[in-house]
Chains A and B, each alone.
Chain A
């Protein structure tokens, strides 16, 4: 076990970290919000936490909490105007936010170290911390799913008009989920900041955002296991492609396109498909039995 941790410890850490990010994205995707603000929230969380721990000597725990709360506050402020936008416009506006955060990080040298980034960050994030946050994130999403709020969310994801006619306040629901997504991403950013001794402004840009969106989409949005599964596959798979740097990107892209084409409901649809067939058969029998 210790050997395994030594050899693959970094990979395991990344799987947990990416899974936390995946649940943050899932909170928005599962309510029809195609948010590209994830990179911005990650960046905000990372810089806030590192700034507080390194320049103000705050304990890691306090810095991470402040980072998560800062990202939540920004998500609320951002969500108020942006959630009135439809589909693609919302996606573009949130992407613009991620870009703005990157540009600020690039230029605010006294806090972010500018283009050079911040070096020699103490490593506070270990596998145990990541595991705890991961478990809490999964629990949070699970508890939400298994509550009236989860039902409201599933209904408005399917069709907003009848959901509103049944008394669901669509805007408030979306804003709350967007804020929760910001909280998780801010926390994940804080953990990422203290994981690898270094952060720079380009760590949390467009590419990181797209990767983050890929996790739950690849894994499946309709299942609670989807985001973690997608993040795990998306983190492990590139390790097998280390033989060629160019081929790696191409193969990864091709696999992703194939996955979306062949499994539109994500990897978890393998199991879900069998489950629904079995359920259908059971119902069919009952129907016949009932006359």
Chain B
């Protein structure tokens, strides 16, 4: 048992619709864990509950042995859980570098006196943060775009920038919400490589997607959600052969 993040009996209703009912899951440390399911199966709801955007009606969340149920988003981030958004949410009026720099927000020490008196610590920290972010951008082949406004980027680049921004938080767990949505085959391949590299840097990943191919290719273990309930969980090959999963996805008679 070395689950980094786990949920027990997570339930969430929205005005009569049950988005999640009694869903339990585990995200082991150092692996890529996938949650798949058809549209409307509760994947994004799960993501928003983990990151504190929603509050579960019932159930508990544990991160590194600590109960984190109901913590607000900024506290979740402070614990080392970073995320990307399904509908990319970069700050469109800022440059790529400025977007990524916000990820270093939690690691700042400068207080109000440093800011108002412009003490050296402020400059030192800002310089360190900037070089850290430029390095991060370089590693993900985005360095040449650092000064560009977000508005000029291609869709695939925006997704990558959002992931790099999350990494600037120096997270222990990275949550990716449909990172491959809207990407072409080349971009998907590139993204898969990027996600593996992040895992190799000892950052655990929870990947939420409805794209079977992507999840099967990348994940060490997979959980299938359908209508807010766990349909199956196991290794990708087990899931692929599971008749219930095939039915949910393809509508086949088993």
Q: What is A's interface to B at a CB cutoff of 8 Å? A: 140, 143-144, 147-149, 151-152, 154-155, 158-159, 161-170, 283, 290
Interface string of B38-75 (1 = CB under 8 A from A): 00000000000001010000000000000000001110
Which among A161, A162, A166 has the greatest number of chain B C-beta atoms within 10 A? Answer: A166
The contact of B94 among A144, A148, A155, A166, by CB within 8 Å, is: A155
Q: For B92, what are the chain A residues with a Cβ–Cβ distance below 8 Å?
A: 158
User: Cβ of A167 and Cβ of B148 under 8 Å apart?
Assistant: no
User: Cβ of A143 and Cβ of B91 under 8 Å apart?
Assistant: no
| Complex Cα gap A170–B74 (Å) | 8
User: Cβ of A164 and Cβ of B72 under 8 Å apart?
Assistant: yes
The contact of B152 among A149, A159, A283, A290, by CB within 8 Å, is: A283
The contact of B110 among A148, A154, A166, by CB within 8 Å, is: A148
| Complex Cα gap A143–B118 (Å) | 7
The stretch that binds A, out of B23-31, B82-90, B223-231, is B82-90
CB distance from B52 to the nearest CB of A (A): 8
User: Cβ of B91 and Cβ of A159 under 8 Å apart?
Assistant: yes
User: Cβ of B115 and Cβ of A154 under 8 Å apart?
Assistant: no
CB distance from A90 to the nearest CB of B (A): 19
The stretch that binds A, out of B98-106, B189-197, B210-218, is B98-106
Q: For A169, what are the chain B residues with a Cβ–Cβ distance below 8 Å?
A: 72, 74
User: Cβ of A140 and Cβ of B116 under 8 Å apart?
Assistant: yes
| Complex Cα gap A148–B104 (Å) | 9
Q: For B72, what are the chain A residues with a Cβ–Cβ distance below 8 Å?
A: 164, 169
The contact of A155 among B51, B91, B110, by CB within 8 Å, is: B91
User: Cβ of A148 and Cβ of B91 under 8 Å apart?
Assistant: no
CB within 8 Å for A165 and B51 given contacts A151-B102, A158-B93: yes
Q: For A165, what are the chain B residues with a Cβ–Cβ distance below 8 Å?
A: 51, 53, 73, 76-77, 82-83, 85
Chain A: CB-nearest residue to B88:
A162
| Complex Cα gap A164–B105 (Å) | 11
Q: Which 4 A-B pairs have the closest CB atoms?
A: A167-B77, A164-B73, A167-B106, A162-B89
User: Cβ of A167 and Cβ of B105 under 8 Å apart?
Assistant: yes
CB within 8 Å for A167 and B91 given contacts A148-B110, A152-B105: no
CB within 8 Å for A168 and B116 given contacts A147-B122, A283-B147: no
User: Cβ of A151 and Cβ of B105 under 8 Å apart?
Assistant: yes
Could you name 12 residue pairs across A and B whose Cβ atoms are closer than 8 Å?
Answer: A140-B116, A144-B115, A148-B110, A152-B102, A159-B91, A161-B73, A161-B89, A162-B89, A165-B82, A166-B77, A166-B102, A166-B106
Q: For B147, what are the chain A residues with a Cβ–Cβ distance below 8 Å?
A: 283
Q: For B104, what are the chain A residues with a Cβ–Cβ distance below 8 Å?
A: 148
Interface string of B106-133 (1 = CB under 8 A from A): 1010100001101000100110010000
CB within 8 Å for A283 and B148 given contacts A164-B72, A165-B77: yes
Q: For A290, what are the chain B residues with a Cβ–Cβ distance below 8 Å?
A: 144
| Complex Cα gap A165–B91 (Å) | 13
The contact of B169 among A144, A154, A166, A170, by CB within 8 Å, is: A166
| Complex Cα gap A154–B93 (Å) | 9
Q: For B103, what are the chain A residues with a Cβ–Cβ distance below 8 Å?
A: 166
Q: For A144, what are the chain B residues with a Cβ–Cβ distance below 8 Å?
A: 115-116
| Complex Cα gap A149–B118 (Å) | 13
User: Cβ of B169 and Cβ of A167 under 8 Å apart?
Assistant: yes
| Complex Cα gap A164–B165 (Å) | 13
User: Cβ of B105 and Cβ of A148 under 8 Å apart?
Assistant: yes
B3 touches A (CB below 8 Å): no
| Complex Cα gap A167–B74 (Å) | 4
B78 touches A (CB below 8 Å): yes
CB distance from A194 to the nearest CB of B (A): 26
Chain A: CB-nearest residue to B106:
A167
Q: For A148, what are the chain B residues with a Cβ–Cβ distance below 8 Å?
A: 104-105, 108, 110, 125-126, 129
| Complex Cα gap A252–B106 (Å) | 46
Q: For A159, what are the chain B residues with a Cβ–Cβ distance below 8 Å?
A: 89, 91
Which among A155, A159, A161, A162 has the greatest number of chain B C-beta atoms within 10 A? Answer: A162
